[in-house]
Structure 1
C-alpha cells in the first residue's frame, strides 16, 4: 500500500510540474486509476479500518489534506467528488477529525504555489 501511495504522490507531482502540456492529463489519469484501487478498499466504510481512524488512514493523510491544497495551488484536479466519491467523502471525514492538527489551508496553498512556481521556473531555464 505504501508503495502505491508513494507512486501516486510522484505521478501527481509530475503532473503538476508539467501543467499546461499534454502529459499532465496522462499522469492524472494514471494517478486516478491508482486512487481507485485505494477507494475500493473503503467499501462503504467511514475509514479504512471501519468506524475509527487506523494506520492506513494516517498513512494516506497526504491524500486527505495535502493533495487538496496542491490541487488548489496548481489547478490540476485529481480527487473530486465526481471521479472518486468514496475517497472524497473519506477525505472530508478524515480532515474533520484532525482539523485542529492540520496546518492552515491558505498558508499551505501559498507554500505549494511558490514551490511549484519556483520548480517550473527552474525547469524551464
Structure 2
C-alpha cells in the first residue's frame, strides 16, 4: 500500500477524520488530502508528526513493517476508505463534487436533516 493509504488506514483506526489529523500535525486539510491521495509527497517532518499523532511508527506508514502492535489488519470499513481513495484519486473535480453531493443527500436521508450541498466545511 502507498504511504497515503497507510495514513488513511491508521487515521481511520484512530477514529480521526482528515481535518482533525491535519490540525494536529499543523498542516492544512488540503495538504493532508493530497498526501493521502498520493498527489503530494509527504515530507520527513510531516511523516514523523503524523506517525506520532496516530501512535504508529514511520516505518509502518511507509509500509516497511509487516506488523505494528498498534494497528490490526484492516477491517471492512478501513478497506472501504482505501478503495474509495483509489477510485477518486484521479477523478475530475466535477465528478468529485457529484460524489460529495450524493454523500450529503445520503446523510440527509439518514439523519433526516437539511443538508447544504454548497457547504464543503465538513470534508
Give TM-score scaled by structure 1 length.
Answer: 0.33
Q: Which of the pair is proportionally richer in helix?
A: 1
Give TM-score scaled by structure 2 length.
Answer: 0.34
